[in-house]
Structure formats: C-alpha cells, structure tokens
Amino acid sequence: MNLCLNCGVELEDDIKQCPLCGKNTGELNEKEKVFLNENYPSGIIQLHKKEIRRYIWELSGIIAFSGIAVCTIVDLIIGKGLLWSLYSDSSILGAWICLTIILVAFKNYFIIIPGLLISILTVLFLFDLISPSSAWFFPVGLPVTIAVFVLFSSITVLWKIAHFRGFNILAFAFLLLSGFCIITEVFIDNYLYSSVDIKWSAIVAVSLFPIAMILLFVHYRMKRGKNLNRYFHI
C-alpha cells in the first residue's frame, strides 16, 4: 500500500490521485515532498512504523539471545557439554538474523531475498557441520534451498510486473510449484539412492497442471484480467 503524502490515507498501488484530498502526489517536487513528509500525517505514520520495526527488532533480540543462553546453560548442566543446544542456538540466531534483514531492508527485495538466502544456507551448513555422519548440505540442502528461493522470487517478480494480479498469479505459482517438486525429488533420490526415479513429484505436477490451466482460462477468457483483490478483498 502507498500513502498519500498530503493527508496520510492509504492508497492502492495503481492510484495516483488521492480520493480524499485530491492531491496528485506524483507531481510534487522534492521540496514539497520533504515539507509534506515532515509536517503532514503521512510523515508521522511512516515514522511510527519505523519505530515499531525498531521495537520489534529490539524485543526479538532480547528473546533470541535469552533463548540461546537458556538452551546453552541447560545443555551444559544436563548434557555436560554442547550437544543439542548447537542446533537450537543456530536456529534461533538464524531466525533472528532473518527477521533483522526483513526489518532493516523493509520492502527492499533486492536486499531481503539474497540476505535471507545466505542466512538460511549458513544455518543449514552449520547443521551439516554439527552432524558429520551425514554430509547432506551440498547434495540436498543447497540445491533445494536455492530452488525454494527461486520459486518465491519468481512469484514475487510476477506479482510486481503483472498488470492484472488475478488468477494468473495463482496459475503461474502452481506451475512453478510443480517444477520445484520435481527438482526436489531429483536431488533427494540422487542423494539417497544414487539414481533418479520420478514418482510423487510427477503426480503433483500432473495434478496441478490442469488447475493452473483452468485458472489461466478463467483469468484471461472469462474474467478479462481482473485483479485478485476483487475476489478476496486484499
């Protein structure tokens, strides 16, 4: 959602003129934008949202590091060493880093997506180092995680570039999900059996393909490219 710089009303992404005050914020010069940001409700709203994100980051940091300390102390007392706490500590720290990236780079997907990918891959790599008996990160963890991020990144890009965000987005998401399932089964089979035998992913792909085609037909032929928010009020 966008905010009107004049009155602070939330606007849809495709609305250029505020229906409440009638101000076309796209025609403001830089001085007017700075003035409005500092003196109108929109500036207060944006500042308030930044403060909320900062409070969430501080609170989550306290909770995360408290959890790490508790898990580590309990493991040292009961297990006489660092055993299971290595997994929990890595998970908590990784989750907090991911939340930090989202809060700091708010809506900047070019920073959020690579940052989350690197953070999650680092946590998985630590898990693999902690469990030396099974080297699964490079043959399974790395490619499957990258495939997950490619899936969500593709859906995000489609959502951003699509002129009409309707059932076509759902259809392409189903098609991408089918490809993700096939890729996942390929890497898992190759890791476990040193061979590839496509079974469950083929069933998923065959099941999702007609659903995607129906959604595309409804979107482009019957509904003529209506936005998804007309159906679900989003």
Q: What's the pLDDT tens digit per position in 179-218?
A: 999 999 999 999 999 999 999 999 999 999 999 999 988 8
Is residue 167 in some structural domain?
yes
> CA angle, 179 as apex, 177 and 183 as ends, to 5°?
115
> What is the C-alpha separation between 125 and 222, in angstroms, rounded?
48
pTM reported for the whole predicted model: 0.71
Is residue 211 in some structural domain?
yes
What pLDDT band is residue 68 in, cutting at 50, 70 and 90?
very high
In this structure, is the dihedral angle defined by the CA atoms of residues 157, 158, 162 and 166, taken in order, positive or negative?
negative
Q: How far is CA 126 from CA 80, 88, 120, 129, in A?
A: 21, 11, 10, 5
CB-neighbour burial class of residue 85 (10 A; exposed 0-12, middle 13-18, buried 19+): buried
pLDDT for 234: 46
Is residue 180 in some structural domain?
yes
Closest to 189 (Cα-Cα) out of 180, 181, 178, 197: 197
Is residue 192 in some structural domain?
yes
Question: Could you please report the per-residue DSSP string of 28-78?
Answer: --HHHHHHHHHHSHHHHHHHHHHHHHHHHHHHHHHHHHHHHHHHHHHHHHH
Is residue 232 in some structural domain?
yes
Is residue 109 in some structural domain?
no
Domain count, the chain: 1
Map tokens 């495939």 to a residue: 147
> What is the C-alpha separation between 132 and 144, in angstroms, rounded?
20
Supply the range of the domain harboring residue 208. 135-234
Could you read off the pLDDT of 80-134 as tens digits, one per residue? 788 899 999 999 999 999 999 999 998 888 899 999 999 999 999 999 998 877 7
Is residue 31 in some structural domain?
no
Closest to 173 (Cα-Cα) out of 219, 224, 220, 212: 212
Long-range contacts of 141-147 (CB under 8 A, 24+ apart): 143/183, 143/187, 144/183, 144/184, 144/187, 144/188, 145/117, 145/120, 145/121, 146/117, 147/180, 147/183, 147/184
The more confident residue out of 110 and 69 is 69
Q: How far is CA 131 from CA 83, 128, 193, 210, in A?
A: 10, 5, 20, 42
Is residue 193 in some structural domain?
yes
Which ranges of the chain does DSSP label H, i.e. alpha helix?
30-39, 41-78, 85-104, 109-130, 142-161, 167-193, 200-217, 229-232
Q: What percent of the chain has pLDDT over 70?
A: 79
Contact 178, 137 (CB under 8 A): no
